Amino acid sequence: MPRVYRRIQGPSSAFGGRRLSMRRGPAPRNGSKARLVVAFIMAAFALVSYFGSREYNPVTGETQYISLTPHQEIAMGLQAAPRMIQQHGGLHPDARLQELVDRVGHDLVNRSAARDTDWQFDFHLLADPQTVNAFALPGGQVFITAALYDRFSTEGQLAGVLGHEIGHVIGRHSAARIAKQGLTQGLTGAVLVASDSYGTERAAQMVGQMVNMKYGREDELQSDQLGVLFMSQAGYDPRAMIEVMEILAAAGGEDRPPEFLSTHPNPENRIQRIQEAMDAVFPDGIPAGLTP
């Protein structure tokens, strides 16, 4: 478990600025000065809260900004899991398939770098025959729908999808996004307070959304990369991850785009990065004898 370093300090000294608004002077100027002081406090608080929650992720080797503790993440995931199961028609009734998903998921965790973490992993096969999707809740609750599972022809393809979802959990992507949203909201709010012009307000919102979308895309590519690493370490042929992209691309070609494609980058665009991840794991080529 990564140690949690939190040094959140309220910008209390900045409150001294409140006196500024009490100063005598031309009224309109006073009002805009007060607004700027409030905006400054809001922006400073958002920035200090965000950058004060710096943490090192030992699996990805990255420094990230997280406002939740691992315990809180696990609790959030456990709390939300029953609702996710219910929304997808319950768990799949076939206990053998459920066991297979569970075994492949835990093999991926226990035979790879993922085992050096304290996340509480659970793998669920959902009955939903319509929605082609897989997702992970913070802390380790991982789900795959029957609609996606039914498209697999090998265990390695299942391992590819589960490895990708394990990557989201270990990358702490949800928690990082929650922290980022807090920062974005704080800064957007500050801009709104500083200027009552509608144009600035819209610009601030758009910048905020663009930043968040870009991070989401990088999270997906990092999950692909981690998925390739975990499945390779667990003895699966990582080329199955490319087959997963082909399965997803084919699923997207039908009438209704699958859920997975609305939250994930285009599968074709992910293949090259997956190839690079495979080359990094196996620089001398993929060895024989891996599970397809």
Which positions lie near Zn ion, rule CB under 5 A? 220, 223
**Site of tokens 């070609």:** 253
Q: Which string of b and e fits 14-47 if b means at least 16 CB within 10 Å?
A: beebeeeeeeeeeeeeeeeebbbbbbbbbbbbbe
Q: How far is the CB of 241 from Zn ion (least distance, A)?
A: 12
What sign has the CA pseudo-torsion 214, 216, 218, 220?
A: negative
Which residue lies nearer to Zn ion by CB, 117 or 188? 117
Which two structure tokens, joined as six digits, stand for 239? 């080329």
Which residue lies nearer to Zn ion by CB, 41 or 166? 166
Which residue lies nearer to Zn ion by CB, 45 or 135? 135
Which residue lies nearer to Zn ion by CB, 64 or 223? 223
Q: How far is the CB of 52 from Zn ion (least distance, A)?
A: 28
Collect all residues with Cβ–Cβ distance below 8 Å to 157 and sequence separation of at least 6.
Answer: 240, 243, 244, 247
Which residue lies nearer to Zn ion by CB, 73 or 220? 220
Q: How far is the CB of 265 from Zn ion (least distance, A)?
A: 9
Please state, in angstroms and rounded to a whole number, the distance separating the CA atoms of residues 222 and 4: 22
Which two structure tokens, joined as six digits, stand for 256? 């209704």
CB-facing half-sphere around the CA of 279: CA atoms within 13 A: 6
> Please, what's the largest Cα pairwise distance for the chain?
81
**Site of tokens 């610009």:** 203
Please state, in angstroms and rounded to a whole number, the distance separating the CA atoms of residues 174 and 169: 8
Q: How far is the CB of 144 from Zn ion (least distance, A)?
A: 12
Which residue lies nearer to Zn ion by CB, 49 or 223? 223
Q: How far is the CB of 216 from Zn ion (least distance, A)?
A: 9
Q: How far is the CB of 220 from Zn ion (least distance, A)?
A: 5
Strands 134-136 and 62-65: unpaired
Q: How far is the CB of 164 from Zn ion (least distance, A)?
A: 6
Q: How far is the CB of 168 from Zn ion (least distance, A)?
A: 6
Which residue lies nearer to Zn ion by CB, 92 or 168? 168
Give me the amino acid identity at 144.
I
Which residue lies nearer to Zn ion by CB, 33 or 151? 151
CA of 148: how far to CAs of 27, 89, 107, 133, 157, in Å? 63, 14, 20, 6, 10
